[in-house]
C-alpha cells in the first residue's frame, strides 16, 4: 500500500514538473507592465514601463535613493518612443526609442533619455549614451499607490509627460513642430497631385476601355505637373485612338523630360514608340 501511494505521488510530481510554463501557477506581478500612448498633432508618443506599488514603504530618499540614476519604474528600463522628432524639455530629440533615466534630488530633478535600451538588464547606465538630460519640475499630489506615467495638458503642439508616485509628480514638457510637419505634408500632397489622375487614366483605359475619359484624367494630371510619366500615358492613349501624330508629340515630350530623370524606366518603350509611330498618320 505504501509503495502504491508513493508511486502515485511521484507520478503527480513528475506531471506537474512536465507542465508547460503557460499551465503553471500564475500570480499577479509585483510591478505589472503598463503602456500609455498619446498622439500630439502628427506625432505618436508611446511609453512602456513596469508599475511598482508603495506598499507602505518610504519611497523618495529610501527605496529610490537621492542623487543616483533610477530606472523610472521597475524591472527593465522604462522606454519612450517618438514617431517624429520632438523637443524634450526644451532640447531637440530625434525620432526613436529611448530609455528614461531619472535623477531624483532634493535640489531638483533631472531626466535623461538614453540610447541603451537594455539598462538594468546586464547594462549599466552610462551618461555617454544620453541623448539629452533636462530639468524636470515637481509638485505634490494626493497619494498614488502605483507608479503611473500619463500625458497631461495635451494640445496640437505639445504635452506634458508626468510621472506620479506616492505623493509626488515629476513633469517634463514635450513640444512638436506640428505646423511645420503639416506644411511639409501639404507640399508633398500637392507636388504629387498629378499621380492619382494619371493612375485613374491608366485604370479607366485598361479596365473600362474608356479612352476618352482616360484622356480627360491624364490632361488634368499634365496640367498639374507635366512630366515624362503622364506624357507617356497620354501618348499611349492617343495611339489607342489611332492619333499617332499627337501620340508621337507626347512621346517626344516624355523622351525629353525622361532624359533629366534618374528613373526613366520606360526609356526603351518610349524610344521604340518614337520609331514605330514615325511614319504613321
The residue with cell 500637392 is 190
List of the chain residues with pLDDT < 50 = 1-2, 5-6, 9-17, 19
**Confidence (pLDDT) at 280:** 83
**105-163, pLDDT tens digit by residue?**
999 999 999 999 999 998 999 999 999 999 999 999 999 999 999 999 999 999 999 99
**48-61, pLDDT tens digit by residue?**
999 999 999 999 99
Domains of the chain (ranges; CATH) run 27-177 (no CATH), 192-276 (1.25.40.10)
**Confidence (pLDDT) at 279:** 84
For the purposes of burial, counting CB atoms within 10 Å of the CB of 216, is it exposed (0-12), middle (13-18) or buried (19 or more)?
middle
Strand partners, 162: 150, 171
Q: Rounded distance, CA 228 to CA 211, Å?
A: 19
CA dihedral sign of residues 151, 153, 156, 161: negative
**Confidence (pLDDT) at 1:** 47
* C-alpha distances out from residue 23 to 6, 9, 63, 165, 239, Å: 24, 19, 34, 34, 69
Q: Which strand (E) or helix (H) includes residue 4?
A: helix 2-18
Contact 77, 117 (CB under 8 A): yes
Contact 78, 53 (CB under 8 A): no
Q: What is the pTM of this model?
A: 0.78
Strand partners, 53: 146
Beta-strand runs (E) in 115-211: 130-135, 137-152, 158-175
Q: Rounded distance, CA 63 to CA 57, Å?
A: 7
Contact 281, 265 (CB under 8 A): no
Contact 218, 197 (CB under 8 A): yes
Of 161, 176, 165, nearest to 79 by C-alpha is 161
**Confidence (pLDDT) at 191:** 87
Amino acid at each position: 500500500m505504501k509503495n502504491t501511494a508513493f508511486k502515485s505521488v511521484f507520478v503527480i510530481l513528475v506531471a506537474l514538473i512536465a507542465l508547460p510554463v503557460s499551465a503553471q501557477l500564475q500570480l499577479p506581478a509585483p510591478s505589472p507592465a503598463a503602456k500609455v500612448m498619446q498622439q500630439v498633432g502628427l506625432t505618436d508618443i508611446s511609453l512602456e514601463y513596469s508599475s511598482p506599488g508603495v506598499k507602505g514603504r518610504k519611497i523618495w530618499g529610501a527605496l529610490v535613493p537621492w542623487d543616483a540614476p533610477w530606472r523610472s519604474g521597475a524591472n527593465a528600463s522604462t522606454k519612450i518612443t517618438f514617431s517624429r522628432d520632438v523637443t524634450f524639455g526644451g532640447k531637440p530629440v530625434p525620432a526613436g526609442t529611448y530609455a528614461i533615466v531619472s535623477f531624483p534630488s532634493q535640489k531638483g530633478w533631472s531626466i535623461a533619455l538614453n540610447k541603451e535600451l537594455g539598462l538594468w538588464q546586464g547594462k549599466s547606465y552610462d551618461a555617454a549614451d544620453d541623448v539629452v538630460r533636462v530639468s524636470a519640475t515637481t509638485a505634490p499630489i494626493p497619494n498614488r499607490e502605483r507608479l503611473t506615467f500619463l500625458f497631461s495638458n495635451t494640445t496640437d503642439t505639445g504635452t506634458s509627460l508626468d510621472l506620479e508616485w506616492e505623493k509626488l509628480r515629476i513633469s517634463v514638457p514635450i513640444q512638436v513642430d506640428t505646423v511645420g510637419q503639416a506644411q511639409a505634408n501639404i507640399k508633398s500632397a500637392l507636388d504629387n497631385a498629378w499621380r492619382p489622375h494619371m493612375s485613374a487614366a491608366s485604370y479607366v483605359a485598361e479596365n473600362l476601355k474608356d479612352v476618352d475619359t482616360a484622356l480627360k484624367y491624364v490632361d488634368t494630371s499634365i496640367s498639374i505637373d507635366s512630366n515624362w510619366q503622364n506624357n507617356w500615358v497620354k501618348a499611349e492613349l492617343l495611339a489607342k485612338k489611332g492619333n499617332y501624330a499627337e501620340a508621337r508629340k507626347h512621346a517626344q515630350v516624355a523622351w525629353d523630360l525622361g532624359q533629366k530623370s534618374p528613373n526613366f524606366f520606360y526609356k526603351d518603350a518610349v524610344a521604340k514608340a518614337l520609331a514605330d509611330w514615325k511614319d504613321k498618320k
